[in-house]
Every structure is written in C-alpha cells, then in structure tokens.
Chains A and B, each alone.
Chain A
Amino acid sequence: MQSTEALVSVGLNHYLVLSALLFTIGALGVLLRKNMIVILMSIELMLNAVNISFVAFATYLDNLDGKIMVLFVMTIAAAEAAVGLALAVNIFKNFREVNIRFFEHLRG
C-alpha cells in the first residue's frame, strides 16, 4: 500500500519520465519525418522536454539557476526556428517542395 502511494503521488521522478517521453517523441520526429517544417517542430518539442526537466530540478532543489537556463533555451529556440524557416523558404523557392531529401544538393 505504501509503495503504490509513493508511485501515484507526483514527485521529481514523474517530471523526469514525462520529459524523457516528450524528448523521445521529438527525436523520433526528427529521425523519421521527411517534411522539413515538421522536423523543426519536433526540435521545438525536444527543447520543451529539456525545459521541463530544468524547471523540475530548479523547483525540487530550490535553486533558481535552472529557471534562468530555461529563458536562455527559449531564446535559442526562437532564433533557431527563424533561421531554419528561412532555409526552408529557400528550399521551397528552388524545388517547390519542402522534403529534406533536397538537402543532399546543398552547396556553397
């Protein structure tokens, strides 16, 4: 009875497992999808998973550094999305398609 109670009531481990699940989903999206926009979205999903574990550790260890790190991660994510989407626009201009197999021809 004691063990089920410990399993059900939410602790740090629950947040870490949730973060692992979301990260895996994002990684699979990056590895398996062919559409470049969806790949960028999956990267956002992975960054979010990392943010969850940052905030969980920050709260449970009573330390603010993790929350600062989340702000940095969000800024980097926004910057990365902007550059990635600019590249996607370029690919679309050239090939009328946003499939990553056209990245094979990138040069210069």
Chain B
Amino acid sequence: MSELDILFYILSSMSVLFGALVVLTSSPIYSSLYLVMSMLSVAGIFMTLNAPFIAGIQIIVYAGAVLVLFVMVLMLFDLKRETKAFTKGRFSGFLKLVGAGLLCGFIAGAAYESVSLIMATSEEIPTNIAAAAETGFSPTTNSIKEISKLLFTKYLFAFEVLGLLLLVVPIGAVALSRVAGGTHAKH
C-alpha cells in the first residue's frame, strides 16, 4: 500500500461520513457545514487523481461561493422549531435501508461492468495509480493550458451557451424573489 492509497482511503471515508451526516442531521445549518467538509474531501480526492486545477475550482466555487449562498439564505429564514429529519415508522425505516442498499449496489455494479467494457475496447489502461505514476501520467493532462485550449476550440459553443445561462440565471433569481406574492401573486 503506497502513501497515495492511504490518502485515498482517509479522504474517501471522510467524504462519505460527512455526506451521510448532511442527510442525517436535522438542523440545516449543521448540514451545510458538513457539506463544506464533504466538498473539501472531494477536492482532496481530485488532488489524488492528479487534477489540481479541478480541485482548486472545487474549493473556490463550491466551498467558497455556493455554500456561502446556502448559509446566507438560511440566515434569512428564522426556522423556530426544528422538525425531525425523517418521518418515523419502523417498517418504512427498514424499507428505506433496503432501498438504499439496493440502489448503491446497482450503481456500483453498473460502474464495475462499464469499467470492464472500456478495458475491452480501449488499449492499455494503467489499472493502478502507483503503476500509473511510475509510467507517468502524460504531462499534457496536467496543464491548465491544455484544458483551456480544448475549452476554446472543441467546446467553444458549449462555453458560450454557458455564459448566456449565467447571464439569465441571476436575472431570473432576482425576478423570482422580487415579485410581491412570489409564485402565489394575486392578480
């Protein structure tokens, strides 16, 4: 077991633990703080995957911008009484657990099958990250320069559409929250 493996196990268990806490805690402000921790662990996982640029974007956009938005909106509300996280009932709780296990198994199984399919079609994939580090990830996958080249040539149209979307979304959000009665306006 190399250092990278140990790092992966620590980071992944942290992200799953905090992700579960997001869903299980009843207070939304604690959920958002756990979500920050989960996002930061995911950024660490991106670092182990040799993608430092994506990790930086993850921290800036998610942990920085989106989560601050969540916390600020939570502070607008004064949620007096804390409601229970889940509806109660032993039988439905059992069904929820079984459903969760089945869903996770199906997704993991589908991913596993897809890996063997890709292995069959594509040539020579490093199956182990240590072996990959020995042969060396190709230096081009590392650089921001290569990513931006691709972004401004092959994906230029998608990039422009995304810019338009980012213009429309704040206007829509402001318009939605400025209407007097909201979605229930009386005409």
Q: Mark B10-49, 1 if CB is under 8 A from A, else 0.
A: 0010011001101100001001100100110010011011
Q: A interface, by DSSP: helix, strand, loop or mixed?
A: helix
In the assembled complex, how far is the CB of residue A100 from the closest CB belonging to chain B, in whole angstroms? Answer: 12
Q: How large is the interface on A (under 10, 10 to 19, 20 to 34, 35 or more residues)?
A: 35 or more
Interface residues contributed by chain B, number (CB under 8 Å): 90
What are the interface flags for B44-70 relative to A under an 8 Å C-beta threshold, 1 for contact and 0 otherwise? 011011110110011001100110011
Shortest distance between the CB of B36 and any CB in chain A (Å): 10
For the complex, would chain B's binding face be called helix, strand, loop or mixed by DSSP majority?
A: helix
| A94 to B130 Cα, complex, angstroms | 56
**Which of B4, B9, B85, B104 makes the CB contact (< 8 A) with A21?**
B104
The contact of B58 among A74, A89, A97, by CB within 8 Å, is A74
For the complex formed, measure the closest distance between the CB of B45 and the CB atoms of chain A, giving whole angstroms.
Answer: 6
- Write out the residue numbers on chain A whose beta carbons fall within 8 Å of the beta carbon of B104: 20-21, 24
- CB-CB under 8 A for A35 and B83, given A16-B115, A53-B111, A85-B73: yes
- List residues of chain A with CB under 8 Å of any chain B CB: 8-29, 32-35, 37-38, 40-42, 44-45, 48, 51-53, 55-62, 64-65, 67-68, 70-72, 74-79, 81-83, 85-94, 97-99, 105-108
